[in-house]
Structure 1
């Protein structure tokens, strides 16, 4: 479900460093790319198709013109071939361009050597980002559906397949970068893309079961059995992976000849996505406690989840002025308690959506639906507790600092193989295995 700001990179017009038949054919291949950012699912599908065709075309050109049919040879040749002297992609930054930004000069100055290897790695990155966007867009559509037929199930499966394709591209990017004589695009971006793809698969599982719980509750006033504790652990695993992604993105700085994607807005996005995952962890664990009859804990968990989405801040930095921090913390706590006490079934989400909306607009539907389900759960738990069990409600602040949260764990996923361009394949793929009788792995 992660769709990072300023992704995927989009092509700009380039000024070729020289004019040969190879460059002319390369430029003709590149001219088919659409420079506009995708705004619909159809746009995203078209973008992926164009980028993949361009990538395949580059390796086919290397095979036909230079007789290169191995990845190591393709990397060596493309690393030595300078295409132009500026970055011909939006949202990809070189060290010299970063300096120009700080000096308020034009980014279009000729200030770097853009090789064919840089072009290939950027295309791989763009394809991987585009596939994660496709997965998020279908998930967004499915979250609003109350259908549970085979067609809907197949769509959920296609979400996983899109994320697997994003991961396969990340693997290929890493393999390509390993053969490069000098670093080009920061190779940590491929580790990041791998993590984002895996987060996407696990988040889509949470979204699917949240949708099932919501539909089952609306129809029968009950929740699914047996897997809610596992889903809580999945959400906690996602939180751990997001921290890893934050570290990776903060470390990606253009230095020397090394280029990186534009990461200025990523940290804020990751912080908001962490709140989203925290809310999911609290939701599924609250259902688990509710089904065990521990309503006080269940209510506390829903309060925690609601405030994860709603409040401005749950954590406190004690390194600053302690008196002022504690005063603000006390005021914030009172404000949050007042908000919780006034929750009604008609309450709507009022958190800052601008990061999601301005950056990608992808995850908003599920955030609102998750919030609505949490409100419904809290009202149900509270009504039963006030009339039947009379448990003491655990304070949301105690839950936030509780060390008894389960350890994060992801749902196992079938093996993802690295992408290989057709020009580098030794033999054409066989298609389905001879002993294959089913519909394929779900995850």
Structure 2
């Protein structure tokens, strides 16, 4: 469900210096210059992106009697298109370092770079389609899952699988292109991680949605595999931290490669770390609640609330004075305790929304619903403990430093189909789609 700010890149008006692209391809490219505003338009947009990509490979196939990707990569490197960067939110590393992101530096933009950028845009769009559909589904308040709703949850996973398939293709294609003016290959690793996180995140969102509906109607939790779901959340947390490392490298490494606009990516992922941490605490707290370990359950809920609310959970490192550091740490601890003790059903999430602009803001809805669910759990657990269990509540600081958190692990999914342009992967003669897994396959 990661939707990074300033994505996907979009084509902008250009002046080709060659006649490599046919008039039909130029028209197809021109139709992609603005991002869609609705889900239906987004589906049509990504289809047009893929058609444009297919058209480029068909153009290359006209002069190549080959079905080997290396031949297409080699040929595309030789075909220059223009002397500028003809996509929004794409820049040259050297120019980026000079804060010239909005300028139009002179580069030899070749067909290989056009292919790369189109693949990046399509992969981002499929991930955004998955996130947008999750956003729609988590608003449903039906208890009994209809067949139509279940099919939509399957479609979410399929969108992310398509994003992953394109990311893998982009990585393979980039590995065959040995030249300087290309997109940084690490971008495709990042795209793959975003898609994989999206698949696993959709599982958490679905169970959270089912739990929320069950809790609202029957005051019970529907999920019984909460330990597994906690492990999934921890796996997501680890993957998001890996994404943070990739973004830091992309931002810092010099070179002659091309970059995307990384503005606010690090800040966005920092919020997503808190998001995944809160989910891990929520599901593990439900696990302890169902085992009647109320003190552990309340401690985990408190930890999740403070994590999501951007409170300082770690001890402050001393800078000049250890005494001053201890005082500041105690003050921060008191503030957190006061925040927990003053929670009410009307308490709302307070978070920096500046990095959630336009498409990247799709995650805000589930963030808010997650926070509301944590508050309701806190109130329910505390009331039951004060009247029935009388367990000692585990301190949230002990939860934060506890070494007993389970290891992260993802839920296995079915194989992801290998993306290949039609000229490289002709359809089977019997007309059977080898990627069809049947309506019963969920992941």
Shared fold by TM > 0.5? yes
Aligned ranges 1:16-415 → 2 under 5 Å: 16-18=16-18, 20=19, 22=21, 24=23, 26-33=25-32, 35-67=33-65, 69-101=67-99, 107-110=103-106, 112-147=107-142, 148-182=145-179, 184-253=182-251, 255-316=254-315, 318=317, 320-321=319-320, 323=322, 324-357=324-357, 360-415=360-415
Unmatched segments (≥5 aa) in structure 1? none
Q: TM-score, normalised by structure 2?
A: 0.93
What SS does structure 2 have at the residue aligned with 1:260? strand
* CA 137–433 in structure 1, closer or farther in 2 if over 3 Å, else same: closer
Provide the rounded CA distance (Å) in 1 between the counterparts of 2:162 and 2:436: 21
State how many pairs are aligned.
Answer: 438
Spell out, residue by residue over 1:287-344, the C-alpha distance to the aligned partner (whole angstroms, 9 max, x if none): 0000111101100111111111113432355264454443333222211111110111
- Partners of 1:177 and 1:223 lie apart in 2 by 47
**Is the Cα–Cα contact under 8 Å of residues 101 and 107 in structure 1 kept in the other structure?**
no
Displacement of 1:30 in angstroms is 1.7
Alignment partners' CA distance in 1, 2:161 and 2:219: 35
Deviations 1:86-137, CA, capped at 9 Å, x for gaps = 11111111124224525xx961242x11111000000000000000000000
Secondary structure, in 3 states, of the residue corresponding to 1:93?
strand
- The Cα of 1:412 is off from its aligned counterpart by 0.4
Instruction: Tell me if structure 1 keeps the 8 A contact 2:77–2:111.
Output: yes
1:46 Cα offset (Å)? 2.5
Aligned CA distance change for structure 1 residues 97 and 59 (closer, same or farther; 3 Å): same
Aligned counterparts of 2:21 and 2:8: Cα–Cα separation in 1: 26
Unpaired runs of 5+ in structure 2? Answer: none
Within 2, Cα distance between the matches of 1:85 and 1:55?
21
Task: Go from structure 1 to structure 2 and tell me whether the alpha carbon gap of 1:429 and 1:213 turns closer, same or farther (over 3 Å shift).
Answer: farther
What is the CA-CA distance between 1:393 and the residue it aligns to?
0.5
Q: Which moved more, 1:226-235 or 1:41-50?
A: 41-50
Report SS of the residue matched to 2:31.
coil
Distance 1:295 1:97, change over 3 A: same
Give the deviation of 1:434 after TM superposition: 9.3
Cα RMSD (Å): 2.2
Report the 3-state secondary structure (helix = DSSP H, G, I; strand = E; otherwise coil) of the residue aligned with 1:249: helix
C-alpha spacing 1:277/1:431, structure 2 compared with 1 (3 Å)? farther
How many angstroms apart in 2 are the aligned matches of 1:319 and 1:94? 40
Single out whichever of 143-152 and 117-126 deviates more from structure 2. Answer: 143-152
Q: CA deviation at 1:346?
A: 1.9
Residues 79 and 210 of structure 1: is their aligned pair in 2 closer, same or farther, counting only changes over 3 Å? same
Residue 418 to residue 441, structure 1, CA distance change in 2 (3 Å): same
Alpha-carbon distance in 2 for matches of 1:97, 1:314 = 38
Q: Determine if contact 2:8/2:125 at 8 Å carries over to the other structure.
A: yes
CA–CA distance in structure 1, aligned partners of residues 73 and 118 of structure 2: 14
Q: Is the 8 A contact 1:303 1:340 kept in 2?
A: yes
Do the aligned residues in 2 keep the contact of 1:143 with 1:366 (CA within 8 Å)? yes
Q: Which whole-Å deviations, capped at 9, do the CAs of 1:41-93 have from their partners, x for residues lacking one?
A: 12321221121111011111111255554311110011121111111111111
Instruction: Determine the C-alpha separation between the residues in 1 that align with 2:439 and 2:431.
Output: 13
The DSSP-based 3-state class of the residue aligned with 1:83 is strand
In the alignment, is the contact (CA less than 8 A) between 1:357 and 1:364 conserved in 2? no
Query: Residue 168 of structure 2 contacts residue 188 of structure 2 at CA under 8 Å; is this kept in 1?
Result: yes
- TM-score, structure 1 length as denominator? 0.93
